[in-house]
Amino acid sequence: MRQTDSRPLVAPLPAPSMTLDGRFRCFTPRQVLAAFLVLIAVVPLVLPEFYVTLLNYIGLYAMVALGLVLLTGVGGLTSFGQAAFVGLGAYTTAVLTTSTDLPGWLAWAGGSPWLALGVGLLITALVALLVGSLTLRLSGHFLPLGTIAWGISLYFLFGTMDILGGHTGMSGIPPISIFGWQLDEGHEIYYLIWIFLLAAALTTQNLLDSREGRAIRALKGGMVMAEAMGVNTSRSRMIIFVIAALHAAASGWLYAHMQRFVNPTPFGVHIGIEYLFMAVVGGAGQVWGAIVGAGAITIMKQWLQDVLPAVLGATGNFEVIVFGLLMVLILHRARDGIWPWLARLVPVRGNQIEIDHAAAALPRREMPTRGEVILEARNVTRRFGGLVANNDMSLHVEAGEILALIGPNGAGKSTMFNQLSGVDTPTSGEVLFRGKSIAGHESREIAHLGMSRTFQHVKLLPKMSVLENVAIGAHLRGNRGVIPSAWRLDRAEEARLLAEAARQIERVGLGSHMHDEAGSLALGQQRILEIARALASDPCLLLLDEPAAGLRLKEKQTLGDLLRKLRAEGMAILLVEHDMDFVMGLVDRVVVMEFGQKIAEGLPEDVQKNPAVLEAYLGGVE
């Protein structure tokens, strides 16, 4: 799916370095991955046991940090409670593989570490769903606080339950065996740990690189937009919370069988904080940053523990203090972590997304016939306390026409737009979309019905390419979920979604910016991008809130041409505008508002001569 073009997909981080003979020397991502795999495979054969043990710990930590990269780095949800999920995985297998008197209904899972892994993941998923449904709704700092509370409770639960051995813990956990081969040496379980970690990293990378992944990447800073494009953001949050918990539990399972012993100490909240540090220090939004972060922190702690007592000539936990200071320094000096800095050292060819223009077109909704009433507001009134922002407003939009809602600042246009788009509910009156009331529907449901919108203040994901931003618009036209995406079984659908996004980008004239970062576009182009994104959802009604605001004359003309083209194709378009000149040469009908009320309605040339309108515009707030 990826092509070896030298144009980078996201930030052009890895600047190609010049070799001595002056030519560019670059590696493909595949080559770098292959080199890494070889390194991982060879290391235990050449390094002493001590380093292998260290690498085992790094692998286990990295797996938990990887979950946090997804949850915190990408999704923006902070959890201090991951260590508790590690404990859940570890204790489940400890109980199932050592207990001699399991209750009858659980006896089948006893004795086998692999069955215990299955049970542990299942329990973790259930607990994560429960904890997630309680905490993910909490906003701002309540979520991290919630995870601390949950981390502490589970930690004490591990320490107090008799069946779990209290604070002494549980010993006698058997080693894992694969087809009779017992992994009881450090370098043996090493391979299992790193296979788990690499599988987790690759599947996470695949997931991020898919329809579900774009929805997840929109969580940080793009929730309102994503919902308006049909994404269920609560579901996406839950998905990453559960995945992060499962990674942690798998790490705990491996840990228990490596140590052959568990007690509550490694599952406390302070370890949870350390996991978070690993994810952040590595490079919070980067899958491979998890390994770098876990490695850097583990090695640094080990090194400080060895060096400090010698330097200071005294024993004590000095490393904790120095570690803390170093952490502050890193977070201060390298906000994006170590990964971006490391990536620059190894020039990798940018992996630009390849578009398969031959991919089958996505199915389209049945379009209404020209002249059919698509959207209708009936006597809509919206009060904010004593203020009547919309007063008894009625209007309608037909298929194949452009209706403009205009009026001076503060007239109530944006409020009306919110009623029409279902973002807000009228105090009285109703809004019908294709004959059905949209009151009480989520914006993603309305998007599914065929209404798509742009935002007055552009809402896009600035670090994502134009192509991927527009592909979010096509989200509701696909259905492949997390598991197919993680294993790349979604590629046929993904190709169709991306081809559709590319078509819409070409259609609005942004073809030459397909792979640029959305944030690098001029404001006018960003507004056009939003229209392409709206079109990618295959709407029959486009709602545009002040699309011409901040545009230069040339950009306004381009926008006008585009809207005319869409109208000719039968699209219904409603635009809220402030700019009279832009509207007059373009639209079919105009509704004029002032002080929350409709003061005129009709053809642009008639409305323009209407004394009430002239008064509103010339004598009003303008």
Looking at the Cβ atoms of 337 and 408, the one nearer to ligand ADP is 408
Three-state SS across 519-568?
Answer: HHCCHHHHHHHHHHHHHCCCCCEEEEECCCCCCCHHHHHHHHHHHHHHHH
132 contact, one of Mg ion, ligand ADP, none, CB 5-8 Å limit per kind: none
For residues 492 and 433, is the Cβ–Cβ distance under 8 A?
no
How far the first Cα of the chain sits from its last, in Å, is 53
Nearest position to Mg ion, beta carbon: 414
CB of 384 to Mg ion, least distance (A): 14
Using rule CB under 6 A, residue 411 touches ligand ADP: yes
Site string for ligand ADP, 335-374 (x = CB under 6 A): ----------------------------------------
Q: The tokens 């990293």 sit on which residue? A: 201
Distance from C-alpha of 473 to C-alpha of 28, rounded to nearest angstrom: 30
Structure tokens at 619: 């004598």
Strand pairing category for 541-545 and 572-577:
parallel
DSSP-derived secondary structure letter, 109:
G
CB of 169 to ligand ADP, least distance (A): 56
Q: The tokens 């705990």 sit on which residue? A: 252
Scan residues 370-389 and list those touching ligand ADP (CB under 6 A).
384, 387, 389
Looking at the Cβ atoms of 413 and 459, the one nearer to ligand ADP is 413
Q: Which stretch binds ligand ADP (CB under 6 A): 23-31, 159-167, 412-420, 610-618?
A: 412-420
Cα separation values, 55 from 40, 284, 292, 303, 402, Å: 10, 21, 12, 14, 64
CB of 406 to ligand ADP, least distance (A): 9
Q: Which residues contact 355 (CB under 8 A, 6 or more apart)?
A: 467, 498, 499, 502, 514
Site string for ligand ADP, 46-85 (x = CB under 6 A): ----------------------------------------
Residue of 177, 391, 414, 427 that binds ligand ADP (CB under 6 A): 414
Three-state SS across 179-205?
Answer: CCEECCCHHHHHHHHHHHHHHHHHHHH
CA 135 to chain CA mean position, Å: 18
Residue of 413, 477, 513, 533 that binds ligand ADP (CB under 6 A): 413
Scan residues 410-429 and list those touching Mg ion (CB under 5 A).
414
536 contact, one of ligand ADP, Mg ion, none, CB 5-8 Å limit per kind: none
410 contact, one of Mg ion, ligand ADP, none, CB 5-8 Å limit per kind: ligand ADP
Residue of 409, 435, 568, 605 that binds ligand ADP (CB under 6 A): 409
Using rule CB under 6 A, residue 421 touches ligand ADP: no
- Considering Cα of 214, then 219, then 220, then 223, what sign does the dihedral take? positive
Structure tokens at 172: 């006698």
Nearest alpha-carbon partner for 253 in 193, 201, 199, 191: 193
Q: Which stretch binds ligand ADP (CB under 6 A): 59-67, 196-204, 276-284, 410-418?
A: 410-418
- Considering Cα of 75, then 76, then 79, then 82, what sign does the dihedral take? positive
411 contact, one of Mg ion, ligand ADP, none, CB 5-8 Å limit per kind: ligand ADP
Using rule CB under 6 A, residue 142 touches ligand ADP: no
Nearest alpha-carbon partner for 550 in 513, 575, 578, 573: 578
Site string for ligand ADP, 186-225 (x = CB under 6 A): ----------------------------------------
Q: Half-sphere exposure (CA, 13 Å, Cβ side) for 155?
A: 18
Using rule CB under 6 A, residue 622 touches ligand ADP: no
308 contact, one of ligand ADP, Mg ion, none, CB 5-8 Å limit per kind: none
Strand pairing category for 373-384 and 387-398:
antiparallel
DSSP-derived secondary structure letter, 222:
-
Q: Which stretch binds Mg ion (CB under 5 A): 162-170, 182-190, 409-417, 511-519?
A: 409-417
Scan residues 517-536 and list those touching ligand ADP (CB under 6 A).
none
Using rule CB under 6 A, residue 407 touches ligand ADP: yes
Provide the binding-site residues for Mg ion, judged by CB under 5 A.
414
Which residues would be at the binding site for ligand ADP (CB under 6 A)?
Answer: 384, 387, 389, 407, 409-415
